[in-house]
Amino acid sequence: MTNKELARRIIEKMGGKNNITQSWHCITRLRFNVRDKNAVNLTEIKELEGVIGAQYQGGQFQIIIGNEVVNVFNEVSKILGLNPEAGAEQGAKGNPIERVFDVISGVFTPILPAIIGSGLLKGFMAILLATSLLSDQSATYLILNGISDAAFKFLPFLVAFSAAKKFQTSASVAVALAGVLMYPWQELINNPEITNLSFLGFMNVPVGNSYASSVLPIILGVWLLSFVERLAKKVVPNSLTIVFVPLICLVITAPLLLTFIAPLGTMIGTYLERFFTMLFDVAGPFAGALLGGLMPLIVITGMHYAFFPGSFASFEKFGYDVMLLPMSLVSNMAQAGATLSVFFKTKDSKMKQVAFSAFVPAMFGITEPAIYGVTMKLKKPFYASLIGGAVGGAIFGAFTVKALSFTVPGVLALPTYLDEASNNFIFALVGVFASFAVSFIVTWILKFEETETAEQAPATEVIARSGGPTHIVAPITGEVKQLADCPDATFAGEMVGKGVGIIPSEGKVVAPFDGVVTLTTETNHAIGVTSNDGVELLIHIGIDTVNLKGEGFSREVNEGDVVKLGDTLLQFDIERIQAAGLSVYSPVVVTNTADFLDLVSAVTTGKVSSGKDDLIIGIN
């Protein structure tokens, strides 16, 4: 499936483009806000080729794509044609916690490339300094340092622009608010003892605070801006909107931001930083083991974004992070170790290929392919990765390992742990090696191959191992039912032949194999096809639908036509059948059942997709 087709199918399963209010992506996931979450079919989205997994978390629908996420997102954007600055409706509100996670995720995800790129540059500079290839007194170092520092020092500008999109307000006014926070007030006053200014005689504006590298003050400020702008647009005539709405927004929002909101945001960030610092000071190894071991579960639920404000507050105050990035690093390396162990141990060639392709991005900090494609699928390797992450986390917590810059927690992040004043880098290497090795060894010891793989193998694979099956693919998309449940006694009693029933969800019949059309009817409610290897299959749409005399049915082929797997044979109107009070239960039976040793259902319950999923297996 091409990226364009995958994007089209995802939007279709999301309830259509009109159901999507916002879309964005992170390193591996598409993220959506929708109007009606009940219109989203997560089950069918998970079954799409190219989708690793899908879930509803934090007020968002998250679809894990992996390495192709950017390309798929570009195709999604083309189809949706959404203007992020337009006043689109917000998605489902959810509970307060979900809304907070949704906001944090929506604000930080779009700006991660700038932050990660700057962090990696700092890491490479640390290597150059440690190897004496670069002097910290050189002009080159000063320029590179300025480039790597800019995104962090002026972080409020990046956050303002991203928050404006999330809160659907004016991006330019939001960035202007960031400028208000970053404005050098005290330099203009030229008196460091003056930390407050009186505004309008009744507001006391603090001007001694530094908001460089801060995130919560500007997020809260842009949130307030979104309300002020909507109110201003209601009272200002449309012809004067472009002139007076920005004026009103700045005059009202900026003083409130400086006086109340920014100090409040700073206070919240400070307490978050103090809480996490205290946690590691009081119970470093225990806290590290707990977070290092549970980080994959935190990432799966999307809750890791909740740690971002605390991490940035720690960077702003101390210049390092002891929680989110270090714990994510050992957790990611544990996933990589477990996945590599699966690669070496498994005898399944397909799983071996999947494991290796997931191992490489896991080493660089992208673990969703490893989690969803390998470790969680096999279960025991996932447990092993939790153990490995806990061991590495305990080591990091015991020695208070610090990440000195924000970047993707993979092997390329190791230079950001270089600290000439301590053994921080050595402890980081020990923790990373321990988490990788422990998860590798535990995965190797656990006998996942003889349990989970065999249990999860599809019925078609089990039969294939017994030799020579004939595969009949589903000709109709819908829910599979046992033939014994058919309302027609002739079909239910297998008098016509063995098979299954389908409750169609799509009004189309396709060829279930390569073959020839051997039976048609005047009313087009049934069709027979014979495969090239001798399977004679009857597809009957609904029960007693012959009484419709062809209404709601159209045939695309004639008797004697050669067809290929997936070719359209019939079209039918499900609603027309139901309106006539008739059952849409559609038998699919092999009329030459006697030519086979046995016929078994490849799927006993659940949904099948026409032209794709196996429906019946013939044992020759």
Q: Report, as residue numbers or ranges, the catalytic residues.
A: 26
Q: What is the dihedral angle through the alpha carbons of 147, 149, 152, 158, rounded to the nearest 10 degrees?
A: -20
Alpha-carbon span 135 to 128, nearest angstrom: 8
DSSP 155-220: HHHHHHHHHHHHHTS-HHHHHHHHHHHH--HHHHHT-TT--EEEETTTEEEE-S---TT--HHHHH
Structure tokens at 498: 């063995």
Q: Are 444 and 363 in contact (CB under 8 A)?
A: no
The secondary structure element, H or E, covering residue 617 is strand 614-619
Q: What is the dihedral angle through the alpha carbons of 498, 470, 448, 65, rounded to the nearest 10 degrees?
A: -100
| Inter-CA distances, 595 with 283, 361, 532, 598, 599, Å | 71, 50, 14, 9, 10
The closest of 552, 548, 512 to 533, measured between CA atoms, is 512
Residue 51: CB atoms within 10 A of its CB come to 22
Residue 35: CB atoms within 10 A of its CB come to 15
Burial readout 422-436 (b: 16 or more C-beta within 10 A, e: otherwise): eebbebbebbbebbb
Q: Are 57 and 297 in contact (CB under 8 A)?
A: no
Alpha-carbon span 354 to 67, nearest angstrom: 13
Residue 278: CB atoms within 10 A of its CB come to 11
Torsion sign over Cα 108, 110, 116, 121? negative
Burial of 114 (0-12, 13-18, 19+ CB in 10 A): middle
Q: Residue 492: how many CA atoms within 13 Å on its side-chain side?
A: 8
Q: Within the chain, how many helices (H) and strands (E) appear?
A: 23, 20
Secondary structure of 80-128 in HEC code, one letter for each residue: HCCCCCCCCCCCCCCCHHHHHHHHHHHHHHHHHHHHHHHHHHHHHHHHH
* In the block, residue with structure tokens 């390396």: 333
Residue 53: CB atoms within 10 A of its CB come to 22
The single-letter DSSP state of residue 619 is: E
DSSP 487-530: SSHHHHTTSS-EEEEEEESSSEEE-SSSEEEEEE-TT-SEEEEE
Alpha-carbon span 335 to 368, nearest angstrom: 9
The secondary structure element, H or E, covering residue 594 is none
Structure tokens at 577: 């059948």
The closest of 501, 512, 527, 490 to 588, measured between CA atoms, is 501
